Amino acid sequence: LTSLIFAAFMLYRRRDVKRLFAYSSIEHMGIIAFAFGVGGALANFAGLLHMVMHSLTKSAIFFAVGHVSQVKGTQKIDEIGGLTATHPWLGWGLALGVVAIVGLPPLGIFMSEFLIVSSTFARHPWLAVPLVLGLLVALGALLLRLNSLAFGEPRGGTAPTQTSYLPMFAHLGLVLAAWIYLPAPLVAWFQHVARLLG
């Protein structure tokens, strides 16, 4: 819980786009560890689901961020802007990734975070307040950074990307599909592991 809150506040101080999302990963590792710490079938299931949703979403984000740093010629957030204008597919892919990683619907991380918060209210309600606070602080930081990166006045280079966006959108597509439908074998496996964890 401490690492979640610490990383959430540190997101406001990051000036390098890759470091920004690295601290976001620290925040999400805190969420996962917290879910397993709360324990119980629901929290363990949510922790396992969050691991999968985070790995898919963050890999899509780092795919986008790697190409952003190449086309813009920098990793400094203050020197990157207007991605949706200069590189629309890249900009909107990054925007969708950030919307997913902060846990907004209709993407899979919303579902896992909702289950973690729900199980915390049920088992340890006094821990739900700092948990939700950390989630909201991180949400504010990443949406603030997204606004400057993807929208507004274009800044940085305008070189075209020489790559396929299929991996990024394939991962984001899976995260969106998880909101609609989770395959029964995957759910059964998560439930089995959740019971084993206790």
Could you read off the pLDDT of 152-195 as tens digits, one per residue? 788 877 777 777 889 999 999 999 998 888 889 989 998 999 88
Percent of the chain with pLDDT over 90: 69
User: Tokens 């597509």 appear where?
Assistant: 173
Are 172 and 89 contacting, i.e. CB atoms less than 8 angstroms apart? no
The answer on pLDDT for 129 being more than 90 is yes
Are 104 and 110 contacting, i.e. CB atoms less than 8 angstroms apart? yes
Look at residue 45 in the predicted model and tell me its pLDDT.
94
C-alpha span between 148 and 83 (Å, rounded): 9
C-alpha span between 53 and 84 (Å, rounded): 25
Mean pLDDT over all residues of the chain? 92
Instruction: Report cis status (omega within 30 of 0) of the bond before 185.
Output: no
Q: 119: Cβ–Cβ under 8 A, 6 or more apart, which residues?
A: 35, 38, 40, 42, 43, 46
Q: 111: Cβ–Cβ under 8 A, 6 or more apart, which residues?
A: 49, 53, 178, 179
